[in-house]
Amino acid sequence: MHSQRFYTLSGSCPDQIGIIARVAGFIAQHRGWILESSYHADDGNGEQDGRYFMRMEVKAESLPFHLAEFRERFRPLADELSMDWKISDSAVKRRVVIMVSKQEHCLYDLLSRWQAKELDIEIPCVISNHDTFKALVEWHGIPFHHVPVDPDNKAAAHAEIRRIYEEVKGDTMVLARYMQILPADLCDSYPGQMINIHHSFLPSFVGARPYHQAFRRGVKLIGATCHYVTRELDQGPIIEQDVIRIDHSDSIEDMVRYGKDIEKAVLARGLRYHLEDRVLVHANKTVIFR
């Protein structure tokens, strides 16, 4: 990450000749200084044509205009390339709303990284269906919203979550072990904004007590997956994954502890990739520029 202010231009388009030349040429035409660039050409799979993915960081002070004018000037070129694209400003902190239930490890980790400025974000609030962590969150100076969810009030609860998210102007929602299924309409409202973490036993070990199921089957790897939330449960585009090896000497308690450790690390990395616009998605496939 550069210490100076920069803009991040990222996007994808059908693969063709001259993409880099035209985009870099546009930036050079306006005396823009490219600090970092990454590219990837996907050949397709026989069912889809090839896709080109790109990410550029441009020194903000090198351009003679701000983002609004950049968007207006760049849009005709992007349209010619049929490009899905966005541009962000490193000086604008993302507003991350954290959602949690009764498992604390991911919440603790995100708050610690935020407090240490490892995650340079704003946390306008934490939402939970339990009040277990109210004192902890408010001790950090962050508003806490207790939104209970039960079979009789799910619609009202989900409407309240939407209201809070909109009210605080959130642009990213992190499900830090939030153990409720969000409705399809809520997921559809914020594509590419909602991030979840789960153990990589899914879908092999679904339901309650997955580590107990895995222990009985003698698994040799513990893992975690960070992904975007879609209306298809746990089927959204994958952002980050990792595993650690275990053996017969590890107990269920050991497995749970290892699982929590890797979930924290994978969620933090996945969130960072998202915040830095290093994740590009097309047709449910992700390209990650690390």
Provide the annotated active-site residues.
234
- End-to-end CA distance of the chain, in Å? 11
- What is the number of other CB atoms lying within 10 angstroms of the CB of residue 2? 10
Please count the other Cβ atoms lying within 10 Å of the Cβ belonging to residue 16. Answer: 12
Radius of gyration of the chain (CA): 21
Half-sphere exposure in the Cβ direction for 162 (13 Å, CA): 15
Hey, which residues does 55 pair with through a beta bridge?
Answer: 10, 38
**Displacement of CA 253 from its chain's centroid (Å):** 29
Buried b (16+ CB within 10 A) or exposed e, 114-151: beeeebebbbbbbbbbeebbeeebeeeebebbebebee
Query: Cβ distance 222 to 243 under 8 Å?
Result: yes
Token pair, residue 132, equals 């277990």
